[in-house]
Amino acid sequence: MTDNRKKLRWQLPFLALLIVGTVIILSKQDRSPYRTNQGMVFGTVYKITYQYAEDLQADIKAELDKVNGSLSPFQKQSIISRINSNDPTVVPDSMFVHVFQLARAVSANTHGAFDITVAPLVNAWGFGFEESNGVDSLTIDSLRQYVGMENAFFDGERIIKTDSCVMLDCSAIAKGYGCDAVAAMFDRKGVRNYMVEIGGEIVVKGINSKRNRWTIGINKPVEDSLALSSELQTVVHVSDIAMATSGNYRNYYYRDGKKVAHTIDPRTGYPVQHSILSATVLAPDCATADAYATSFMVLGLDSAMAICDRHPELQGYFIYADEEGEFATCYSDGFEQWMR
């Protein structure tokens, strides 16, 4: 008993110092300013707000450069570009492997509605990283043989493709993963309050500068190819979660008098045609939210809602056209809590 008391007398001062030091550090963090860094990445704009004593722009850029170097098909020396060009020496980095394996999982859960081997079709329709030479039914039929997650797999060291014509496109998941990468860097540095936004995909943690949850608007899906409209359908108040929205109201063109939207159904080879105008997904991480938001645009309302019912970690908010052509909304269980 005496020895234990002696140990306790020695331990108590150190414990007290530890507690005081922790309080001082947290107090300093609470007094740190909220900073905002902006820039361009993945062909879009990023805006990142965080509370920290130092400007972390260099660290943010470093993380985004890593993601770009792994997943951007517009960089000739990126991992994905070298895989697409059949470079036999390319070894995927941990970022690429993570995204590839996640893509396989989402593809399985959506019965192929999400598929990063869709690149040849996306390119053919004029929405990809290679110039389109025109598209018709014969072109689509010939390209579909190279589309399907069974045509590419990771053997533990490299990405193996069943044919040299198989190509990968991670554009429907890369922005979300970029948000996750910056958020992970913030977490490593002890940043407790932040919002990372890249082209509309978002990760939030903690509170904003007004000591409230982060407020994010969901746009009305009005045709707006120049992204000038800021009319909102609803507003959510979120914390410690990721959010992604997919829609066909900005990236589209008209062909023979018909609208051609950028979301291609990898199962048919053609742009999707159904009532969903935009799909917003809340998930634990942004890469997952990003992938499912695209999947839901392909699947349609009923199937998307069914997946949300089976996966409570996913919460969906959908804007669609009703029978009269008017905007209508539908959302999964659990989403409403963020609208209050």
Q: Give the pLDDT confidence score for residue 130 in this predicted structure.
A: 81
Average pLDDT estimate for 29-39: 89
Average pLDDT estimate for 22-35: 64
Q: Give the pLDDT confidence score for residue 221 in this predicted structure.
A: 87
Give the C-alpha separation, 7 to 144, whole Å. Answer: 72
Partners of 195 in the β-ladder: 49, 204
Q: Do 37-161 and 208-339 show the same overall fold?
A: yes
**Parallel, antiparallel, or unpaired: how do β-strands 194-198 and 44-51 relate?**
antiparallel
Give the C-alpha separation, 292 to 246, whole Å. Answer: 9
Partners of 281 in the β-ladder: 244, 316
Res. 95: pLDDT tops 70: yes
First vs last Cα of the chain: how many Å apart?
56
**Parallel, antiparallel, or unpaired: how do β-strands 201-205 and 214-219 relate?**
unpaired
Partners of 202 in the β-ladder: 197, 243
Res. 20: pLDDT tops 50: no
Q: 60 is written with which tokens? A: 């943010």
Closest CA to 286 of 333, 249, 243, 327: 243
Res. 246: pLDDT tops 70: yes
Average pLDDT estimate for 308-318: 97
CATH topology for the 208-339 domain: T-fold (3.10.520)
With contact defined as beta carbons under 8 Å apart, do 199 and 42 qualify? Answer: yes
Q: Which CATH class is domain 37-161?
A: alpha beta
- The domain ranges of the chain are 37-161, 208-339
With contact defined as beta carbons under 8 Å apart, do 214 and 88 qualify? Answer: no
Give the C-alpha separation, 10 to 55, whole Å. Answer: 40
Q: Give the pLDDT confidence score for residue 231 in this predicted structure.
A: 86
